[in-house]
Structure 1
Amino acid sequence: MITLHHLNNSRSQRILWFLEELGVPYQIQRYQRDSLTMLAPVELQKIHPLGKSPVLVDGDLTLAESGAIIEYLQEVYDEQEVFKPTDLRARQEYRYWLHYAEGSLMPLLVMKLVLNRLGLPPVPWVIRPLAGAIGKGVQKGYLDKQIATHRNYLEQHLNKSAWFVGNAFSAADIQMSFPLEAMAGRGGLDECPQLQNFLQRVHARPAYQRALEQGGPFIMPE
């Protein structure tokens, strides 16, 4: 049976969601972040050397990286190809969004999370004011502009189609959900009705709701 090593408030939430969409049997091994550092517990290093989540174990196969896990689950368990387009050109677009989510978009949002926390513990109190000011300066002068470019790009894309690959829901939408959750919390989606609508439709899916029941509350760190 599949085992998902699930860290709270992490990328593993979308793997849990995909397992629910697929309807395959699985079990969860739960882990909790350190409340101060927000880091994963060292116990995860026993499952994968990097100590990150998600990690999926299926028989003698251990997989990390959410994009790789999603591709594996789709190839092995989505026999009818419900979650992957059949058209060759659409498949290329599907592949693009699977890589774009973590390759281009998520690094900016992780950087914003780090810069937001420079003025907070565990940064030593004596340098918190300076560190916080540096963090705000970098965000204002560089990072927020980059995030805005991506936000506008994604909003315009969803003006053309209901989902990221045409009008059919796919695993690419599952992969894209996490950075958009992060963008909503860190970059804001107030002027992006299409992206807001995307998240609302995602949250309304029965499988997404079941994943929340299985994994517990999902709160995106700001």
Structure 2
Amino acid sequence: MSLTIHHLHLSQSDRILWLCEELSIPYTLKTYNRDKQTSLSPESYKELHPIGTAPIIQEGSITLGETNAIFEYILTKYGQGRLVLSPDHPNYADYVFWLHHVQGTLQPALNSTLTASEGDMMGQVMKARLNRSLDMMNSQLKTNEYIAGDEFTAADCMMMFPLTTFRLFVPFSLEEYPFIVEYLHRISEREGYRVAMEKADPGLARPITAVVNLNK
């Protein structure tokens, strides 16, 4: 059986490609363009899985959605202990936290605050949560090369999308977070990252600087 990644252009499914590239896992890539009118996924993508959102993978009779579920599936089935930290590792708690923090807190906060109307109470709550998240991330990266410590892990593969590709949709500044910006530059130099991002969206320049310039 071969693993098939269904990648919606300009979406978080790009990190599934990256995870596979870092693990040197062979896969078949099928890409889908966003609807020109709505910028949402096309019907052909929505029909792949009941959840209807990116990412989605298939292997044999299995069709699986949800980023964290796909990460767990790939790491457990193919990782052979790579890109994860074991429970007896001193940074295990950091690894688990950051692996799940992106989907659990960071992206929901971004989605809420960057689309909220002025004076929206929930938007203000989520903005505060976003600021705490970025502050904590910046502090973590001040003393660590990677998000869970000195080792590159799957948590790093989870981290890049909201800080890069997502900012093409709704630009936001990272000027207050210099250690996050340094981290983005370090990660963007990885061969696995470069190969995966070019396969996902050929020619797309993802922002890794503090300020997003969409005119470039």
Q: TM range, normalised to the smaller chain?
A: 0.7 to 0.9
* Residues 114-193 of structure 1: pairs in structure 2 closer than 5 A: 114-115=115-116, 135-138=117-120, 141-181=124-164, 182=166, 186-193=171-178
Match of 1:198 among 183, 204, 208: 183
SS of the aligned residue for 1:156 comes to helix
Superposition deviation, residue 87 in structure 1 = 4.6
Task: Give the RMSD, CA atoms, in angstroms.
Answer: 2.5
CA contact (8 A) 1:212 1:218 kept: no
Cα displacement string for residues 54-100 of structure 1 (whole angstroms, at most 9, x for unaligned residues): 10112222211111111111111111x22011353533332221221
Q: Deviations over 1:34-58 (max 9, x none)?
A: 2332211111222101211110112
Q: CA deviation at 1:108?
A: 1.1
Contact 1:144 1:187 in 2 (8 A): no
Offset, 1:143? 4.4
- Per the alignment, residue 208 of structure 1 pairs with 193
**Largest Rg, 1 or 2:** 1
In structure 2, what residue type is equivalent to 1:205? R
**What count of residue pairs does the alignment treat as equivalent?**
202
Which residue in 1 is equivalent to 2:95?
A: 94
Identical-pair percentage: 31
Partner of 2:60: 59
Cα distance in 1 for partners of 2:149, 2:167 equals: 22
Higher relative contact order (CA 8 A, sep 6+): 1
Q: Compute the TM-score of the two structures, normalised by the length of structure 1.
A: 0.81
TM-score normalized by the length of structure 2? 0.83
* 1:62 counterpart SS class: strand
In 1, Cα distance between the equivalents of 2:126 and 2:173?
13
Q: Which residue of 2 aligns with 1:48?
A: 49
Q: Take 1:67 and 1:85, find their aligned partners in 2: how far apart are those partners?
A: 16
Which blocks of at least 5 consecutive residues in structure 2 are unaligned? none
Looking at structure 2, the residues matched to 63 and 38 of structure 1 have their Cα atoms a distance apart, in angstroms, of: 23
**AA aligned opposite 2:31:** R
Q: Which protein is richer in helix relative to its size?
A: 1
Partner of 2:84: 84
**Which runs of no fewer than 5 residues in structure 1 stay unpaired?**
116-134
**CA apart distance, 1:213:** 2.2
